A and B are shown apart, each in its own frame.
Chain A
Amino acid sequence: MAEITLTHLLFLSTALFFIGAFGFLTRRNMITMLMSVELMLNSVNINFIAFNKYLFADRLDGVFFTLFLIAIAAAEAAVAIAIIINIYRNYQSIDIDDADSMKF
């Protein structure tokens, strides 16, 4: 069994990122879109940890950034869910295509 290299981890994070981006652009359900955003954030976390471990093993910067990002992701989820609840109250729907009154 071969060793897990940096390339493997970068491949994982890139795949996660584009899965998240694809989900964000194609899903109509706002909760699912929020989950896609979380996927993209976590791919970034993996990037940080991977670079930290393989390139600068004696430093902790990447780990700290990851901790920050987890906190930010939590806050973002709270705000996003609040927005989604408000949209639901106004439109009786959480379909992103129904909330399109902000246009020309």
Chain B
Amino acid sequence: MISGSTIALIPLLPLASFLLLGLFGRKYLSSAAGWIGTLSLLASSLISLATAYNYFFVSGKVNGAYQQITLLKHTWLAFTPGVSIDMGLLLDPVSMMMIVIVTFVSLMVHIYSLGYMKGEERFATYYAFLSLFTFSMLGLVLSINIFQIYIFWELVGVSSFLLIGYYFDRPSAVAASKKAFIVTRFADLGFLIGILILAFGAHTLDFKILIERLTTSSPELRGMIGSSFLGLSALTWGLLLVFAGGAGKSAMFPLHIWLPDAMEGPTPVSALIHAATMVVAGVYLVARLFPIFAISCPGALHVVAYVGVFSSLFAAVIACTQTDIKRVLAYSTMSQIGYMMFALGVSGYGGEHGLGFSASMFHLFTHAMFKALLFLGAGAVIHYTHSNEMQDMGGLRKYMPVTHLTFLVACLAIAGVPPFSGFFSKEEILSAAYQNNFPIYVIALFTAGLTAFYMFRLYFNIFWNKEFHSHHDSSDGHHGEAPWTMKLPLLILGVLAFGAGFVPFGNFVSSDGAALPAEFHLALAIPPVLLGLFGIALAYTMYKTENDLPNKTAALFHRLYQGAYHKFYIDEVYLFITQKIIFNLIGRPSAWVDKNIVDGAVNLSANLTEDTSGLIRGWQSGKMQQYALWFFAGVMGIVAVFICMWH
């Protein structure tokens, strides 16, 4: 049987490690910090694996469908009898899958960081932040209440902020952490308003009741569809605003600008937070509310689909031109999350129609594995070359055999080459898109080709192209490829990035809990594979050896290349909007009002008081006899008044 207190340990162990390392780490535990964090994560990932096994194979299934189980429900803040913020644990196939991914990738990153972050001054702080993040993310995926998810959502944002700004002595890292926090906070404002609309309409914050009320014909649902604002119903507004929060966290266009800059954080952090776990929180949120989207509000689901597919293509085009290897990976993350989003967007609810849902979760699963691997591999490369730029690399295959091999596996997986894991999940997504929305299918197909191209551009630029010239005087004195703590996670993730696709995923995770056997459409599998191979071949001819083909191509598509190289000037647009329009039209007038009118009123009262006191303070002279004289005069005055009154 599944026990609530055991599952509660999964998030609580990282919390304990955060408190321990955060309070005492720097002073007393600086050398043991890494091992404390890693061991607590190891315990928590073993528990989550055991729980997942128990849920999926022993006790989760009732009547052929996986049930939603609510454990340890505790009412924390009750507003009215129906509306309360509860804390608890929600178990269903999606959250089970998420806790396994989060604890597992986090464990890999913890082990990897033992080598990567060795010798950092704030080593214990780093592990404390990692534990805090893991705790928040686990709390997020186990939430039973939409407000509980919001609380953990913000905690995740804070820990992401702390980790991006880990190197706080670099101005670029500080700027990046602020940018990430502000952009996601801005999106979370939408999320909060969305929560309030949904709670106001459905009179509950509980996921289970919320979904029940808003998917069956109930007075709440009729009320929410009936009331409209600016031409959209309250339900659509609520869902779209919730999606806006998800889009901010998941770096969907146009709220994606923080993700590439977030690469200023340490590379293992990018692997954990900005590739495998936190950025898929938006996908998770849409998946959590999926029945409402799919059954009651297909319009909002279309928005999800189009935003997803546009972000996917947009990011893929930019990724082809970037030269910082972590930024290429950041844009590829955004592109792959776009894939997950539009897979949800084209999906229906239940049975066969739920293919997109399963495919999206499947892609989330495989993506977490191969993208964490790519980032950790890139981290090893950066560790070796001390640079993020492609031009400082090349020919590294001889020096870093393990990294080379695992990176190649991950590239093949993300490019969708069979039988690597990405192939299976992408194939499912594409067939879901093919069945439901042909234009999206075409765009996604093109994006798949682009993905293969830019990933292999990255691969060839790092490991082939030119000979490696170390910046150090001789490579004899160099520290070698990487310590075993860095190689071990690469190897484990490499095996999973290869094999994760063979999991019969639809049997475990589907929109309605019932098993959805995977159908393999050969005709649908061929085009993406061919396009992927074409992309790889193109990358091979352009980047295998040093030649001027890339420059010629760039010159050929000059305008497109320049646009993509500058990320389509989205940052500049934001800067224009904020600095030129918002600052000038709203900021400066309000500052004027604040300085002159609000501060003026306060200053006026202060000045009046001071002037008056300046006039009368001479009365307090310190001369005792003056006081006595005033006292006598007062008594005389009172006596005079009394005498007058009696006559």
* A102 contacts chain B at the CB level, 8 A cutoff: yes
- Of the candidates B620, B624, B625, which one forms a contact with A104 in the assembled complex, judged by CB atoms under 8 Å apart? B620
**Contact indicator A97/B623 (Cβ below 8 Å):** yes
Chain B interface (Cβ < 8 Å from any Cβ of A): 617-618, 620-625, 628-629, 632
Q: Which residues of chain B are near A102, meaning CB under 8 Å?
A: 622
Give the contacting residue for A101; candidates B617, B622, B625, B632; CB below 8 A.
Answer: B622
Bound complex: CA A67 to CA B251 (Å): 94
In chain A, residues 6-47, which have Cβ atoms closer than 8 Å to a Cβ of chain B?
21, 24-26
**B617–A104 touching, CB < 8 Å:** yes
Chain A residues near B (Cβ < 8 Å) = 21, 24-26, 96-97, 99-104
Contact check, B625 vs A96: say whether CB atoms are below 8 A apart: yes
Query: Do the beta carbons of A103 and B632 come within 8 Å of each other?
Result: no
Q: Provide the residues of chain A in CB contact with B632, threshold 8 Å.
A: 21, 25
Residues of A within 8 A of B620 (CB): 103-104
In the complex, the chain B residue whose C-beta lies closest to that of A26 is: B625
Would you mind naming 11 contact pairs between A and B with Cβ atoms under 8 Å apart? A24-B625, A25-B629, A26-B625, A96-B624, A97-B623, A99-B622, A100-B621, A102-B622, A103-B621, A104-B618, A104-B620
Overall SS of chain B's interface: helix
Q: Which residues of A contact B625 (CB under 8 A)?
A: 24-26, 96
The answer to whether A103 and B622 touch across the interface, beta carbons within 8 angstroms, is yes
Q: Which residue of B lies closest to A24 (CB)?
A: B628
Please name 10 further chain A to chain B contacts, defined as beta carbons within 8 Å, in addition to the given A26-B625, A101-B622, A104-B617, sorted by A numbering.
Answer: A25-B625, A25-B628, A25-B629, A25-B632, A96-B624, A97-B623, A100-B624, A103-B620, A103-B621, A103-B622
CB distance from B235 to the nearest CB of A (A): 68
The reply to whether A100 and B629 form a contact with Cβ atoms under 8 Å apart is: no
Residue of B nearest to A96 (CB): B624
B residues less than 8 Å from A21 (CB atoms)? 632
Instruction: Give 5 nearest A-B pairs by CB, closest first.
Output: A103-B622, A100-B622, A104-B617, A102-B622, A104-B620
Residues of B contacting A26 with CB < 8 Å?
Answer: 625
Separation of A92 and B393 alpha carbons in the complex (Å): 86
What total count of A-B pairs have CB within 8 Å? 26
Q: A24: which B residues are within 8 A, CB to CB?
A: 625, 628
Q: Chain A residues near B629: list those with CB within 8 A.
A: 25
In the bound complex, residues from chain B placing their C-beta under 8 Å from that of A100 are: 621-624
Note all chain A residues with C-beta closer than 8 A to B623. Answer: 96-97, 100
State in angstroms the CA–CA spacing of A99 and B627 once bound together: 13
Across-interface contacts of B621 in A (CB, < 8 A): 100, 103
| Complex CA–CA separation, A99 to B622 (angstroms) | 8
Q: Which residues of B contact A96 (CB under 8 A)?
A: 623-625
CA distance A24 to B626 in the complex (A): 11
- A21-B632, A25-B629, A25-B632 known; A99 vs B617 contact (CB < 8 Å): no
In Å, the complex CA distance between A74 and B617 comes to 36
Measured CA separation A68–B390 after assembly (Å): 104
User: How many Å lie between the Cα of A10 and that of B88 in the bound state?
Assistant: 91
CA A58 – CA B617 in complex, angstroms?
A: 54
Report the minimum CB–CB distance from B260 to chain A (whole Å): 62
CA distance A60 to B628 in the complex (A): 33
Q: Which residues of B contact A101 (CB under 8 A)?
A: 622
Nearest CB on B from A41, distance (A): 15
CA distance A100 to B632 in the complex (A): 20
Smallest Cβ-Cβ distance to A100: which chain B residue: B622
Residues of A within 8 A of B618 (CB): 104
B13 CB to closest chain A CB, in angstroms? 64
Tell me the smallest distance from the CB of A77 to a CB of chain B, in Å.
Answer: 17
Please, which residue of chain B has its CB at the minimum distance from the CB of A99? Answer: B624
Q: Which residue of B lies closest to A30 (CB)?
A: B624
CA distance A104 to B618 in the complex (A): 8
A97 nearest CB neighbor, chain B only:
B623
Rounded to whole angstroms, the CA-CA distance of A26 and B617 in the bound complex is: 23
For residue B191, give the distance in angstroms from its CB to the closest CB of chain A: 57
Q: How far is the CB of B429 from chain A (nearest CB, A)?
A: 80
Closest chain A CB from B627 CB (angstroms): 10
Residues of A within 8 A of B628 (CB): 24-25
Most central of B620, B621, B624, B629 by chain A CB within 10 Å: B624
Q: How far is the CB of B346 from chain A (nearest CB, A)?
A: 79
**Which residue on chain A has the smallest CB distance to residue B613?**
A104
Q: How many angstroms between the C-alpha atoms of A104 and B623 in the bound complex?
A: 11
**Cβ–Cβ < 8 Å partners of A25 in chain B:** 625, 628-629, 632
Smallest distance from the beta carbon of B637 to chain A beta carbons, Å?
15
A93 CB, nearest partner CB in chain B, Å: 14
Q: Which residues of A are found within 8 Å of B617, using beta-carbon distances?
A: 104
What's the Cα separation between A99 and B624 when bound, in Å? 8
In the assembled complex, the CB of B327 is this many whole angstroms from the nearest CB of chain A, namely 66
**A102 to B621 alpha-carbon distance, docked (Å):** 8
